[in-house]
Structure 1
């Protein structure tokens, strides 16, 4: 069996063909390749002579591909792209791997940081960089490998992988519970200090929406409003009032006994947690491992709802 070198034209001429076909211009291809227009013309002419058919039709001040030229140029474009991506992936594996993760302040502080050491033990050679902010992270612009988001799963900068739904229920500290009669209905919650904050995420549920789902009829006393959801949870732990606990985010605090559920009322929303990955390329191995690890830890967290928005 003959090797490729004996059966294929020169690689240089094929690279030139791909560039000319992409630009449909000998001059622009020459500029990209850093050679003269005459050198490009000679390469294409020699390639046509070797192949035995024309690749381009030379028209007035422009060129266009022949049918055979179009077929060959298309295969070359796909093949060069695959080679380029493969080399980039292999090169990345030989370098120190850094996994860039984007998430909200609440998810990072309340869920991810308490567990990230478990992932690091499984993948000790992977460097991790966390980008934590509540404003949306653009996966393309910010060069993030994975982002954890709450919403409907549709975002223009990447493709989404479902993680889990969540449910909301009132929580307070044991000290707060010891100092008052805890409410049993949604209306009775309005007699207490309710801790809340303003979220930029349209899918995030606050007290107003949660109480409406349970048809609370009476006007409530003013809530204590804070800047971040993490502040709300810290205030609840300190005994300042009752907060809405997102099950995935307050699970550790409930198990530690620093928070407790106030009532059996709970609400499941239409939104869910997703891990979002860039659509620009295939995931590198460390990102694939992190997505699988997230799914294993979050799958099936929320139980059946009593109400749903």
Structure 2
């Protein structure tokens, strides 16, 4: 059975291996022992905090094969971004150049640096290792974050964002960054990307152009990737779009990948999931469902067809092995949705 749970210090070796496998452009998982250990420690603290509103918590989960103990992937939620370290984006807008005398009317796209998403919650760090990219695992890993947020709304903002990985080549070079580097920087994209992953963003405010950039002045290659996602990120973007996430013109400063957003209450999984009462029974089966025990520090979630939902009694019948894996007893409540 595949179990999603909070990360612990015992998962460090697997977490580092995931960081290595994630490759260039995966800013939230830099291959740095100290930073990865700090992420784990911060997550452990976040799950045990008593709070009434989000501030700077970070919740990291791992997907574990309960039979082998192998860590299959990871995902995370940032409770409120930009509260400690500024979060920068470019916003795509338009400006009009009009001369009645010359009978000229031109509309030009511009990129303006901003901090508009400060305080929003962010879903991030979604990575499923190559051998496990089959079946429903990826969909489950993506959507289960939303049931956790639905059960602990006081810990998250009403607006949820996701920064999607932009276009870069196999060496990690970004066409968008190449233009910025030529005109404003003297460091390579992988180095800049690594610094952001380490949390060192001072150079952004120091070196980034303070005034809007006219998009038509960028190189053709740079213009072509604005708002586009990396080939490996397309499946993740499609999943989020099905959940109701939309791109509202915000892009990453370095690779121009899109940031998408949605209101937490409007997310499809939040709206379609139900809270039901547990009934443990033998020989139960049905369509595959995701199930969360609604816990915090003891959060557990899985997906299985060894269950069935009775909408008339609002009961989720499940086999004993499922209840045991989720640390549930008869009469407990769960949040569940169909996969």
Larger helix proportion, structure 1 or 2?
Answer: 1
Both structures adopt the same fold (TM-score exceeding 0.5): no
Larger strand proportion, structure 1 or 2?
Answer: 2
- Which TM-score bucket, shorter chain as reference? under 0.3
